[in-house]
Structure 1
Amino acid sequence: MSGIVSASSPRQRLQNAASWSKHIITSSPSRFAIVIFAMLILVFTVLLSLPIASATRTVTPLADALFTAVSTICVTGLATVDMATHWSPFGHVLIFIGVNIGALGVLTLASLMGMLISKRLGLRAKLMAAGDTNPMRAHGGVVNESQTVRLGEVGQLLTTVALSALIIEGALAILLYPALVMAGVEPIAALWEAPYFAAMAFTNTGFAPNAGGVAVFADDYLVLSLLMVGVFLGSIGFPVIYTLAKHVWHVKKWSLHTKLTLVTTVLLFVLGAVVFLVLEYANPKTFGSMDAADTTFQAFFLSAMTRSGGFNVIEMDDLNGSSLLAASMLMFVGGGSASTAGGIKVTTLAVLAIAVWSEAKGRQSVEAFGRRIPSDVQRVALSVVAWGATIVALSTIIISQITKADISHVLFDVISAFGTVGLSTGLTAELPDSASYVLATTIFMGRVGTVTLAAAVAATSRTQYYSLPVERPIVG
């Protein structure tokens, strides 16, 4: 009898573990996503610590390996080491693989893992997956027809995520190869650099495999333009790519999320370039030494990269203080929801801006493109901004206290970390281990998303069956 018990115990434990895993996946995909990302970071930290991963065949210190793993999986682009020279070919391949895994997104990755384990998505999981891939993802109520991704399209969305990443990166690599060769890169080296740059552009990471980064292509408009296209496609988000793939010429069929994302993205892209032109045209360290054409192009390139791209031609430390602040604002906003970009997301900014405008006009409801935006979406947008600002403020205070560095440089690098942008004033590479751990935590929280993080902490959503008396406090 004891033999039977001992033989069945491992099987029972496996069944219990499988049941527990399936429960975690279906009950809280957001929490499961955080666990998956944490595990991936742990695995890549170990791999990057191996002697074979470094160019000198030595063990990379834990702080540097961990920070690089976080920056890689969270597609950020910040680094505490020289990415071009510190890592061996094996290390660069690890980073290439890591950014593509991270590019799938927190919640998309969770859904994919859930499908692999549970073999199928049940109705409840489909409800959550549909919510987690659009701006209504934090809404605990009934899934309505205004969502970006419908229930029946969840499986198609997951396929689109993988295929779009593969197709876009492949097309970019094909276009970048001759451009890099014409720019002076050796044909053999370009075979590696083209897909590497393509992946870093589409994933909005910003790592470069060559010494000097994209600064060596400062006068090559073709290479820089291709990188901007890759960054744009990665930053608009998978739901938008999915919508455009189905209804590219039928604007009336575009969802409200798609319209808000594209309009706000283009608007910030143009306004950012204009602001940098005005603030930097007389700065001899940046645009002051360029002609009109170079200045205009570089202003647009800088505007695109501060949204989450992470590539830089000019040194961020050379920008005027006013430009650093403007760049910080763009980085804080970031890109589109369910995209490879970070930040609070452009739809969050759009919803709040429309709400403020509606309040100023005395309108009873918040409307855009013939659609009414419900109050719960507005509350989510406000919560995202509040949590994001809180994370940035706390991280800035802690790192400033540790390093005693210039507060403007600390704030810039912290927002770059939160927005998973990858631009730096040079502070990140000089951080002590304790400060690098704080910045790595900021990257992680910025990547998984403030709403996702809050949803994972909350054990369950509670339904309130009563309402309290209304009383209006004085605000403003």
Structure 2
Amino acid sequence: MKRGGWGSVLLDRFHHPTQVVATGFGAVILLGSVLLALPMATTTGESAGLVTAMFTATSAVCVTGLVVVDTATHWSLFGEVVIAGLIQVGGLGIMTLATLFTVLLSGRLGLRAKIALQTETKSLSISDVRRVVRNVVLFALAGEAITTVILTARFMIGYGEPFGEALYLGAFHAISAFNNAGFALWPDNLMGFVNDAWICLPIATAVVVGGLGFPVVFELARSWRTPRRWSVLTRVTVGVSIILIAVGTLVFLATEWHNPRTMGPLDDGGKVMASFFAAVMPRSGGFNTVDIAALNPSSMLVMDVLMFIGGGSASTAGGIKVTTFGLLAFIIWAELRGENRVNVGHRRLPEATQRQAVTITLVSVGLVAVSTYALLVLTPYSLDRVLFEAISAFSTNGLSTGVTVETSPAGHILLLMLMFVGRIGPLTLGSALALKERTRRYELPEERVIVG
């Protein structure tokens, strides 16, 4: 079908992606809130209340992981299943919409994005859309299934859990990990497994794979032996992700090695694994094997930066995305060298993409700053803890120093709104900016302005 057919329908329908995504996510959150507000959703048989139910539903759909009540003890089996279902719907929805927007933009802007359909034209047929959705779903379910098998076996062999309980624990945490949600069924999250590589490493791997994004994983599966053929998206995502995880691991090793409240009591191998786990989770994973509130201020600052950056584009991760951060680094490098073009490898970066990266970053910084100020007014906590919580909510990360649980209902509502905006914001803003790109048929006189 040519551009005038299904492609035009898609362009018309997704002309305002913010409305489409916000409406869809809002509807799922509303349904989840109703289900979690039912008395049967709690262990006590009493309704959790509107704010608690809505906060938990928002956190699950936005795959964040921040909680106002303990997931393991407050919610019944029905409530936990609802949370897992909301995580799955939210994660698949995010990946599918993000990937479809990428496909749509590849046709709208003339970019031959190397994603699932590998289209060689500027058209977008209904079969392409179906293929993209199918491949995204299969990719997610396969990743969750592999993680479930490993975790189930470990819970059975290592902890003596019966098969049914082990399978439930494995499936719940596999869904939570692959979708970068961070929900756990223990009061201390995963702190009880800090030395267990068979629990920590599969969960960390699922977080990384889910946080790379479907287009990148698909391209890696096809051409992992020939890096020179990788697209700019894959090169930047993989390269920046490796650098951030490596730097994060080294920083946490250096700053937390002797901290008696975090990694100090662990042996050398345990410290390395805990540092690696702590470096992976700010991608948007949200799990923790050490007490976040006990981290040194320097470690907390590093986590702030890593959470704000987040994971890959078209993935379940949040933040401004490693692609945006990587492109900003290339833009700065080109400017420092006095070059009037920004090149990534053997490709030139369009000026529109540069503006989009700067816009998303500055809007995100402003949103975090305003939210941090509001939380400082509403809560009695220090700036470092409040800033950490605001970034965690915006980046849909879920790591917490305890502010979320201890704050007032007004603070809960603010964090709830921040999670929602942080989840749909970068995706819809980036898509909206790209879809609105148009060529101006005239140029105004140039005037130099002093900068700096």
TM-score by length of 2: 0.90
What is residue 157 of structure 1 aligned with on the other side?
Answer: 132
Following superposition of structure 1 onto structure 2, how do residues 190-339 of structure 1 map, counting pairs within 5 Å? 190-339=166-315
Instruction: Answer yes or no: is 1:177 the counterpart of 2:152.
Output: yes
Distance in 2 (CA, whole Å) between partners of 1:460 and 1:251 is 33
Specify which of 356, 368, 393 is matched with residue 392 of structure 1: 368
Distance in 2 (CA, whole Å) between partners of 1:337 and 1:24 is 23
Give the residue type in structure 2 aligned to 1:235.
G
What is the Cα deviation at residue 458 of structure 1? Answer: 11
Specify which of 69, 74, 77 is matched with residue 57 of structure 2: 69
What is the Cα deviation at residue 374 of structure 1? Answer: 1.2
SS of 1:27's partner is coil
Identity %: 38
SS of 2:299's partner is helix
Does structure 1 retain, via aligned residues, the 8 Å contact 2:98–2:314? no
Distance in 1 (CA, whole Å) between partners of 2:433 and 2:222 is 36
Deviations 1:88-108 (A, max 9, x none): 111111111110111124472
Give the residue type in structure 1 aligned to 2:136.
V
What is the Cα deviation at residue 28 of structure 1? Answer: 3.0
What is residue 130 of structure 1 aligned with on the other side?
Answer: 103
Identify unmatched segments of 5+ residues in structure 1.
1-20, 112-125
CA pair 267-454 structure 1, distance change in 2 beyond 3 A: closer
Distance in 1 (CA, whole Å) between partners of 2:433 and 2:49 is 31
Does structure 2 retain, via aligned residues, the 8 Å contact 1:183–1:217? no
Distance in 1 (CA, whole Å) between partners of 2:391 and 2:60 is 17
What is the Cα deviation at residue 453 of structure 1? Answer: 4.2
SS of 1:336's partner is coil
Instruction: Answer yes or no: is 1:144 the counterpart of 2:111.
Output: yes
Deviations 1:40-95 (A, max 9, x none): 11111111111111111111111111110110000000000101111111111111
Does structure 2 retain, via aligned residues, the 8 Å contact 1:157–1:242? no
CA RMSD of aligned residues (A): 2.4
CA pair 460-294 structure 1, distance change in 2 beyond 3 A: closer
What is residue 80 of structure 2 aligned with on the other side?
Answer: 92
What is the Cα deviation at residue 447 of structure 1? Answer: 0.8
Give the residue type in structure 1 aligned to 2:32.
F
Following superposition of structure 1 onto structure 2, how do residues 330-369 of structure 1 map, counting pairs within 5 Å? 330-369=306-345
What is residue 48 of structure 1 aligned with on the other side?
Answer: 36
CA pair 460-229 structure 1, distance change in 2 beyond 3 A: closer
CA pair 24-210 structure 1, distance change in 2 beyond 3 A: farther
CA pair 24-441 structure 1, distance change in 2 beyond 3 A: farther
Distance in 2 (CA, whole Å) between partners of 1:388 and 1:332 is 9
Give the residue type in structure 1 aligned to 2:131.
Q
What is the Cα deviation at residue 456 of structure 1? Answer: 6.1
Distance in 2 (CA, whole Å) between partners of 1:294 and 1:458 is 45
CA pair 178-432 structure 1, distance change in 2 beyond 3 A: same
Distance in 1 (CA, whole Å) between partners of 2:438 and 2:348 is 26
What is residue 90 of structure 2 aligned with on the other side?
Answer: 102
Distance in 2 (CA, whole Å) between partners of 1:147 and 1:458 is 18
SS of 2:166's partner is helix
Distance in 1 (CA, whole Å) between partners of 2:412 and 2:188 is 23
Identify unmatched segments of 5+ residues in structure 2.
1-8
Distance in 2 (CA, whole Å) between partners of 1:265 and 1:322 is 21
Give the residue type in structure 2 aligned to 1:216.
G
TM-score by length of 1: 0.86
What is residue 39 of structure 1 aligned with on the other side?
Answer: 27
What is residue 378 of structure 1 aligned with on the other side?
Answer: 354
Bigger Rg, structure 1 or 2: 1
Does structure 1 retain, via aligned residues, the 8 Å contact 2:63–2:396? yes
Distance in 1 (CA, whole Å) between partners of 2:449 and 2:348 is 26
Following superposition of structure 1 onto structure 2, how do residues 1-20 of structure 1 map, counting pairs within 5 Å? none
Give the residue type in structure 2 aligned to 1:40.
V
Deviations 1:12-35 (A, max 9, x none): xxxxxxxxx989734334421111
Does structure 2 retain, via aligned residues, the 8 Å contact 1:235–1:341? yes
